Amino acid sequence: MTEQPDWDCRRAGEELDAFVRGDLPLAEAGRMQSHLDRCGHCAEVARYEQAFRDRLRAIDTDTCCPEALLQRIRDLLASPPRES
Amino acid sequence: MFSHPTSFDDEVLPHLDLLYRVGLRLTGDPAAAEDLVQETVLKALRAWSSFRPGSNARAWLVTILRNQFINTWRKQKRAPTGIDPESIPDQPDRNNPDPEGRFFAELVDETVTEALDALPDDFREVVILSDLEGLPYAEVAEALAIPVGTVKSRLFRGRRILQGTLRRYAEETGVIRPREEQR
């Protein structure tokens, strides 16, 4: 197995958002993690971005389509309006 | 007659919650969001024959909802926000008194959504789809008909503006205290 060169701060910064989203492929996530283990500054930025992302993800998590709207849509699908 | 291997109900109904939440965030008004979702379903129904089976129904529906929003809602309501995207710093502020962002968790939903509402539309819709709803870059790009690189750069800038707004708010309201001036 070939040794991959370590990521520098610039490279880590470019992929930070994808890492925080959990969208980085496993190998790259591993390289990001080893950079974060070595670099206190990037680790701090990563925690800041993670806290921000977690807060945004928490908005509207319990918000569902209201029952009245669901019923209107069911009615609509049961007898679709004619093309105008 | 050509028949779809999947039904309209199967493809569309599972996404109604997401459509409603996105509609709610875009319009800021539950009644408007309901109308928007209903119109989206109606448009999708009319366009169903053009939907390619196996393609991404969620992105397709978001595209319809967003177009409907632009055509009917946005023009009547939103004024320019006065934020100059060019003025956004590329790097987070190193003097941040709460560098790990603990204050974010202390803010109530209304504060966060108010800050979100103040974002310029191009940034706002990307943040809503990508950060609030967790859609992958590629799907946001497809829904908004923009390249993935544009999604990433708008997301980056939108997040910076939002972070700045929330941090200022947190400092003003004492959720975090500004770091004392260095002597």
Please give, rounded to a whole number of angstroms, the shortest distance from the CA of B10 to a CA of chain A. Answer: 12
Q: Is the pLDDT of residue B104 over 70?
A: yes
Q: Which of A23, A47, A57 sits opposite B131 (nearest CB)?
A: A57
- Residues of chain A in contact with residue B119, where contact means CB-CB under 8 angstroms, are none
Residue A17's nearest CA partner among B118, B159, B139, B116 is: B159
In Å, how far is B55's CA from the nearest CA of chain A? 21
Q: What is the dihedral of CA B125, B127, B131, B136, to 10 degrees?
A: 60
- B19-78 pLDDT, tens digit each: 999 999 999 999 999 999 999 999 999 999 999 888 899 999 999 999 999 998 766 655
Would you say residue B3 has pLDDT above 60? Answer: no
Domain boundaries, chain A: 9-78
Which domains does chain B possess? 8-77 (1.10.1740.10), 85-172 (1.10.10.10)
Closest Cβ opposite residue B163 in set A21, A52, A80: A52
- Within 10 angstroms of residue B142's Cβ, the number of other Cβ atoms is 20
Instruction: Report d(CA B11, CA A78) in Å as an integer.
Output: 16
> Per residue in B37-47, pLDDT tens?
999 999 999 99
Q: Is the reported ipTM for this assembly greater than 0.90? A: no
Per-residue pLDDT of chain A (84 residues; tens, 9 = 90+): 455 677 899 999 989 988 998 888 999 999 999 999 999 999 999 999 999 999 999 998 889 999 999 999 999 998 877 665
Looking at residue B182, its pLDDT comes to: 44
Phi and psi dihedrals of B46, rounded to 5?
-70, -30
Chain B residues within 8 angstroms (CB to CB) of chain A:
8-9, 13, 16-17, 19-21, 24-25, 30, 34, 37-38, 41-42, 45-46, 92, 96, 99-102, 104-105, 107, 109, 112-113, 116, 127, 130-132, 134, 136-137, 152, 155-156, 159, 162-163, 166
Residue B106 has pLDDT above 90, yes or no: yes
CB-based contact B20 A64, cutoff 8 Å:
yes
With CB atoms and an 8 Å threshold, state whether B156 touches A48.
no
Torsion of CA B28, B121, B69, B104, to 10 degrees: -40
User: What percent of chain B has a predicted confidence (pLDDT) above 70?
Assistant: 82
